[in-house]
Amino acid sequence: MTIKARLMLLCCFIALAFIVVFTVSSRALSGLSASVGEQGSSVELFIRASAVERMSYGLEVILLKTAILGIQGGSAESIGNMTAEVDNTVASGAGIVVDLAAFPALTIEQTDAVGVVKDAYGEYGNYILTLTGMLRDSSSEVVGLLPGLERNFSVLRRSLNSLISMVQAETAAASERARIAELTARTAQAAVALAALLVIVSALVFVMRSITRPIALIQRTVERLGAGDFSMKSGLSGKDEAARIAMSVDALVDAMRALLGTVKTRVDELDGTGRGLSSNMATSRAAVARIDASVESAGLRLDEQDASVREVAGAVEKLTRNFEALALMIANQSAVVEQSSASIEQMIANVDSVAASSIRAGEAAANLASEGSDGKALIDEVGSSVASIVGYSENLSEAAALISEIASRTNMLAMNAAIEAAHAGDSGKGFAVVSDEIRRLAEQSTAQAKDISADLVRVSEAIEKVRISSEAAVKSFGSVLTGAGAVDKAIAESAHALAEQRVGGKQVLEGLVRLKGLTSEIARGSTEMSAGNGAITAQMSRLQAASSSVALNAREINGGADEIRKAVAATIELAERNASRIADVKAASEKFIL
């Protein structure tokens, strides 16, 4: 059987195991689903029964509220609205009871219990409707019928409790059945899965052993081949894939043994040829080395000669450039000396001008100090005058206050005189007129005194500002006088320094005159040296041309020798690489065991 057929058989076993597991799981899940459905039906029935119970409690509460409202003498409209709500609630409850009775999943016991609930609710609802009708007509008669309402509600509640207890018991039983069904499903699934796993593992082990054994034998054979041992074969035969691979490997071993035998023979022949070539190239290499040494020695001497000529020519050219630069610098030095002489003369003239300006500035500073002293004395007098004015203004303020006080007293006397004139009757009318005039004058005097006081206050403030300004002016004049003294001193020192600078400038000017004469003599000597250097430069140019021609010929000879040396070196390198590769091939072929 081939490996492919074995693998297909293994896949069939696995598929069959999955089908069995799926079938068992489906059956277990079907039973579990039925149990869960029963439990859901019980829960739905419990919800509907609880809704009827809540509706019954709500009816009793609303009816009692309506009865209390009627007993307390509530309005007919309010009672009518509440009784209408009770009627609607009774109708809704009847609909819920009908739905409960029509529930499709009821057992026989549950059907009987639902019938009892339906009858009890019908009696309870009819009794409530009777009470609501009486509440609309006469609320007082309802009180005697309320115990009957409680009896009917108790009957309904007992029937509902019996139904709910029955539903709860059924729900618990359904839950237990669902739990048992779940446990059974899990147990069946586990057993089937374990059996399927055992079958799959057994088939897998059988298939793996039938595949891995020949592959392991082929692997050992290939490992020996990789180590260079071609003396053994796998020896496998058959029609499956592993046997065909083993037979192909054995055929490859036979072919490789023949090939390696041929390679070893040819490598031995190449090894002898390579040794002869290496010996001949060693002799050629020694001869080329001697030729190369002679050519290189001659080239080095010619290069040294050419380098010496070039250095001398460069030195001569550099000397020529130095002479030219020296002549240019001498010319520049002459121009600089002349310019410096003119600048020194101008500087001396400027120093004289600055010295004269310093003298005038000193005189102006002295005058400024004198005038500043006079100004300070005048400002001091202004300050004294301001202080006197402040004293006078204070006296005027006191006089204004005194006038105001006199006017106030005069006003009081005029008022007293007016009172006495009124007491005198007709004989005092003239005196009353005079007293009125006096009072008016007193009031005017008081007003004028107030205006004078206000003006004096403003005058005092202005005088105070003048006093503060005069004090500041005194301080400023003090600073000006101090600065004027410092300026006078600095101008004197500057005049002394300018005098010294004028003397030094004259000395520098005399030195520049002497330097100008020396520069002229140096320029004449430089011209003579430049003429002699021109003749030397011409001779060095001809010598350099001859040396360059000889060096070029030597480089051409050296280039030919380099080509010969490179050719011999390349041939020797090829011979060495050939010998190395032959040795590598021989060493590699010796590793194989035939």
Give the CATH number, domain containing residue 423.
1.10.287.950
The answer on pLDDT for 226 being more than 80 is no
Same-domain status, 295 and 361: yes
- Pairwise pLDDT comparison (271 vs 114), residue with the higher score: 114
pLDDT of residue 2: 66
Domain presence at residue 220: no
Question: Does 287 fall in a domain?
Answer: yes
Residue 247 falls within a domain, yes or no? no
Question: And the tokens for 15?
Answer: 């598929």
Most confident residue range from 161-165, 247-251, 267-271, 327-331: 161-165
**Is residue 573, in this structure, part of any structural domain at all?**
yes
Q: Measured at the alpha carbon of residue 155, what is the angle toward residues 151 and 158, in degrees to the nearest 5? A: 135
pLDDT tens, position by position, 176-199: 877 887 788 788 778 878 887 888
Residue 237: strand, helix, or coil? coil
CB 228 within 8 A of CB 592: yes
State how many domains the chain has.
2
Residue 511 lies in a domain: yes
The 10s digit of each residue's pLDDT in 351-397 is: 567 667 666 766 766 676 666 666 666 666 766 765 666 666 666 56
Last residue of a domain, one of 184, 201, 218: 201
Q: Look up the domain containing 276 and give its range.
A: 259-590
- Tell me how far apart the alpha carbons of residues 241 and 251 are, in angstroms, rounded to a whole number: 16
Of 183, 201, 219, which residue is a domain's last? 201
Answer with the one of 201, 226, 250 that is the final residue of a domain: 201
The CATH code of the domain that includes 109 is 1.20.120.30
pLDDT for the residue 270: 66
Q: Which residue has the higher pLDDT, 238 or 122?
A: 122
CB-based contact 159:116 (threshold 8 Å): yes
Least confident of 17-26, 56-65, 434-443: 434-443
Is residue 85 in a domain?
A: yes
Residue 42 belongs to a domain:
yes
Q: Same domain for 292 and 155?
A: no
Q: Give the pLDDT band (50/70/90) at residue 431.
A: low
Burial 14-47, CB ≥16 within 10 A → b, else e: eeebeeebeebbeebeebbeebbebbebbeebbe
Regarding whether 552 and 436 lie in a shared domain, the answer is: yes
Residues 307 and 186 in one domain: no
Give yes or no: residues 63 and 161 share one domain.
yes
Question: Do 172 and 288 fall into the same domain?
Answer: no
Total-model pTM: 0.33
- Which residue, 321, 574, 61, 548, is CA-closest to 329? 321
Does one domain contain both 177 and 265?
no
Average pLDDT, the chain: 71
Task: Please report whether residue 482 resides in a domain.
Answer: yes
Q: Fill in the amino acid letter for 414.
A: A
